[in-house]
Structures are given as structure tokens and as C-alpha cells.
Amino acid sequence: MIEGKRILVVDDDPDVLSLLSDFLVLNGCEVSKGLNGKQALKIAENHEIEIAILDIGLPDMDGIALIEEIRKRQPFCGIVMLTGRQDVETVVEAMRRGANDFLPKPVDFERLLLTLFRITFERDTYFARRDASAELDHKRTIAALDAELRKKVEELTMMYRISNSVNAIRISEDIFEKILKITNDALRVERSAFYFVQEDGRLLLYRTVPKTCFEAELRLKEEDVRRLISQKRHVSRGGEILFPLSLKGECLGVVRVPIGKRKDIETALSLLKVVVESCSIQIENRMLYESLFESVLQTLGSLISAINKRDLYTEGHCLRVTERSLAIAQNMAVPEHDRDSLRMAASVHDLGKVGVPDSVLLKPGRLTEEEFNLMKNHSVYGEQILSRFEILSREARIVRSHHERFDGRGYPDGLKAEEIPLLSRIIAVADAFDAMTTDRPYRKAMTEQEAVREIKRCAGTQFDPHVVAAFQQVLEDARDGREKRVFQG
């Protein structure tokens, strides 16, 4: 909707000016830039400006005074004010002088885009009404414009819904399946499909929503393939739209949407473009996230290796605790994305031992009270290490709380019952069971039956009773052979 619009951006901060300008250029706008009021007025005198985005605090001229000066030169220019100050008087005065909207800094680009859509629509509607009134009956014109307004409002509302739906896609979800679900909702169609582009140019089916019949390979004319893959433009054929999804300048795949003989093809294309481009950004973000996550895992792996070299018990212990924790979580029907967090947290739950002195960590006998207090710090150390990685903030909280007790007498925070994260409560049971059934220098291991009796005895005090019940069921399933290789320890 804002492609080709002539926009003036004025801000005395070169970085903000460059950021706004790049964003608008990426959205197809023609951008003029100014660092102060003098430059802005010179541009307004010599060029037609459709929308002006003005900083309220400029070095040579008050932003509000600049509104009136631009209005003198460009009477129909839409004006958006930017400010880091949030006082009502400034907003009211700017609106009184002719500003169309007022956005705070730092700029929310999604909100800015919706604001520019609205101002563009208002300007287009104004000119349409002015021109139409000379030719058509007034009532018919108003009715037509009102219908168009309702249609545009519906489009903007749907664009907003699309944006929210795309932003809500979790890292654990199949992004291509979500693309199709959002497409079906936005275009009000019953089915759609996504095809990956192969190296030889063939289009092979990857996902359909719902699971309906689409041919496994999409056969197209050579000119259609060239239009989709090389030119990255949509193809309309036989009552359906094929829309390319590009990533870093390359066509990754094609969204296929049967639309029948509907008349609002342009609206459907606009909405589909919003869906595909928004999801393309999400895919790039996911690739960046996975690259960053891999780097984090390598760093943590180095730390864990350092612990394992100090205390060989820790390596096997963490592996067993992870397997048992996941088995408990599956029995409790914990969602898949939560099990992903559990897998990470359980595997590094003793990471904080890197901060415990060797004299305590490797002591062959029982610990003194002072030494035990030092050992207890490992859950806090573990959280401190993980919290340095923002993407592991949730796992950091789980690690911190894996020695809390259901009755509130645990450490480090004395949390109780539901205050303790569920995944921490699961690790607590698996951790205790493995500790009891493993030989240590200062004691022999319990039998499995003895350890289970002890855990059952502590249900409701040390452990969550629901987790204990799930743990018992996992053991029974293992004994009955309904689940193979639940435990490796």
C-alpha cells in the first residue's frame, strides 16, 4: 500500500535517520532525508512530499513549528511526529497544528507501517472523494467510499492478525505448516500447500493443510517456472495462485492456494504477500537463532567437559537424569516444546559444579555442613552461567530450582509446590533416584526398590506427588516391556 510513496524523514540523529530510511526503502518508498528543519523545508519547497516523518526535537527549529511550515508548502502532506518525550501537552499541540499521528522512540516498525498504511488510505480516500464528487451523485459516492473504507479496514485488520500470528510461531513448531494455516485463515480458503524448489528447478510437495490431495510434484510451464524462481513473481493459473517464498534473494519454495473464481484477486495477493514475506523474516530469524544456539551449545559443551574431567560421576549422571526426566515428562503429557527445554536443562543441571572447589567436589567422605553449603551453591552458579545466554533464560530458572523441595524447605529460594517450575520438579525426582542408585566413594548404592520406596515416602514433602506417580508408572512400563530402553543406567 505504501510502495512508491514519496516520504520525507527528518531527524538530527544520523543513525535513526539511516534506520528509518532503510526500512522505508525496503518497503518500496522514495525517501528524502534531512538532519534539521532548514534541510526539511528546502526539500518540501522543491519536491512533492506525500508523508513527512518528523523528529519533534531538532537543533534549529522546534518540530511542532516545522509542521506548520511544511503544511504551507505541502497542504495535503500526511505528518507523523516522533519523540522520546511522553508528555500529553506535546501530543495535543502537535495534533492541533496538523500532525496525523504521534509515535514514541525507539520506533516500533510494525506500528509505523500500520500508521503509514492508515495515512496513505486517508489521503487516497480524500482525493478519491474530491475527484468523485465532481462526476458522481454525492450519495452514491459516499456509499462506495464507505464500502471501500470497510474493505480497507478489514484488510488492515487481517494484516494485523497475520503479523500477530506469524510473531506467535514458536521455535518448536513447523513453520511451513503454520504458513499454510495462516494462509487459509487470511484468504478464507479450505486448503493450501507448500512446495520446495529442487536444484533442478522441480517443485516437490512438502506440506499441505489440511492433509488433502495435492500432486507430489508440481509441473509448470517453463515460463511459469522462470517467473516464480528467477523473477520471484506470482503465477495465476486455473483458479489458483502460486506465490514464491524467497530467502536472501533465492526462491526457497512456493505456496500454492486454490482460490476458485473469486473476484478480489488483488486483495488475496496482497494478503498472501504479507503472509509469505512475514514468514520469510521468521525463517531467517530461526536460522540465526539456530546458529546462535549451536554456538551456545558448543560453549556449554566445553564447560561440561571441564566438569567431567574433574568428576567422572557427573557425565553418566547427567545423561541418566536427562533420559529419566524426559520419560517422566512424556508420561505426564508435557508439551513437546517444554520437553525440549527439559532436555537442555537436565543435561546441564549440574553445570554449576564448575564453581565448586575440588576439595569439596571430589571429597571421598561425607561433607561437613560448611562444605555442603558450598556444594549447594552449584544450582545458583549454574543459573548464573546459563543466564548469560538470553536464549537459555528459561533453562537457567529450571536449573536454579532443581533442588527446591515441594514443602518449601529446599534451596536456594525456599520455593514450594507450584512455585517451583514443573520441569525443575521433574528433574528433582530423576536426580534423586540416580543419586541413590549409584555407588559413591562414601556409600554403596541403594537397590532400585529401596530408592523407589524412599521417593514414595518423600512424596508431598521433598517431591511433587504427581511427578512421583508418573515416575512410578514409567518404572512399571519399563518392567512390563511396554517402553524399551527407558533407562540406560
User: Grid coordinates standing for 183?
Assistant: 494462509
DSSP line for 180-230? HHHHHHHHT-S-EEEEEEPTTS-EEEEEEESS----SEE---HHHHIIIII
User: Grid coordinates standing for 105?
Assistant: 522512540
In this structure, the dihedral spanned by the alpha carbons of residues 411, 413, 414 and 416, taken in order and rounded to 10 degrees, is -110
Write the single-letter amino acid at 118. R
Q: Give the CA distances from residue 338 to residues 76, 172, 286, 323, 424, in Å, rounded to whole numbers and listed in that order.
A: 53, 9, 18, 15, 12
Going from N- to C-terminal start, the domains of the chain cover 6-134, 175-286, 311-480
Q: Give the CA distances from residue 271 to residues 73, 116, 191, 264, 282, in Å, rounded to whole numbers and listed in that order.
A: 36, 17, 16, 11, 17
Dihedral pair phi/psi, residue 414, rounded to 5°:
65, 30
CATH of 175-286, one of 3.40.190.10, 3.30.450.40, 1.20.120.530, 3.20.20.140: 3.30.450.40
- Distance between CA 410 and CA 399 in Å, rounded? 14
User: Grid coordinates standing for 420?
Assistant: 517451583
| Domain 6-134, CATH | 3.40.50.2300
- Distance between CA 23 and CA 334 in Å, rounded? 41
pTM of the model as a whole: 0.46
The strand pairing partners of 209, in sequence order, are 192
311-480 CATH fold: Hypothetical protein af1432 (1.10.3210)
Strands (E), 98-162: 101-104
Two domains, one topology: 175-286 and 311-480: no
Dihedral pair phi/psi, residue 107, rounded to 5°:
-75, 130
- Distance between CA 181 and CA 204 in Å, rounded? 19
Question: What is residue 487's predicted lDDT score, i.e. its pLDDT?
Answer: 46
Question: What is residue 289's predicted lDDT score, i.e. its pLDDT?
Answer: 63
Question: What is residue 483's predicted lDDT score, i.e. its pLDDT?
Answer: 46
The strand pairing partners of 79, in sequence order, are 52
DSSP H or E run through 30: strand 30-34
- Distance between CA 238 and CA 25 in Å, rounded? 35
- Distance between CA 394 and CA 190 in Å, rounded? 37
DSSP line for 288-350? HHHHHHHHHHHHHHHHHHHHHHH-HHHHHHHHHHHHHHHHHHHHTT--HHHHHHHHHHHHTTT
User: Grid coordinates standing for 213?
Assistant: 490431495
Sign of the torsion angle spanned by Cα atoms 166, 169, 174, 180 = negative
> What does the pLDDT profile of the chain (489 residues) look like in tens digits?
788 889 999 998 898 899 999 999 988 999 999 999 899 999 999 989 999 999 888 888 888 888 889 988 888 888 998 887 666 777 778 888 888 888 888 888 888 888 888 888 888 887 777 765 555 555 666 666 666 767 666 666 766 777 777 676 665 567 788 888 888 888 888 888 888 888 777 888 888 888 777 888 877 888 887 888 888 888 888 788 888 888 777 788 888 888 877 777 888 888 888 888 877 777 777 666 666 666 666 767 676 666 666 665 555 788 889 999 999 999 999 988 888 889 889 988 888 887 777 777 767 777 888 888 888 888 998 898 888 777 788 889 999 999 999 999 999 999 999 999 999 999 999 999 998 988 776 678 889 899 999 999 999 999 999 999 999 999 888 877 644 444 444
Residue 176 contacts residue 194 (beta carbons within 8 Å): yes
Residue 174 contacts residue 336 (beta carbons within 8 Å): no
CA-wise closest residue to 249 among 271, 269, 229: 229
Gyration radius of the chain's alpha carbons: 31
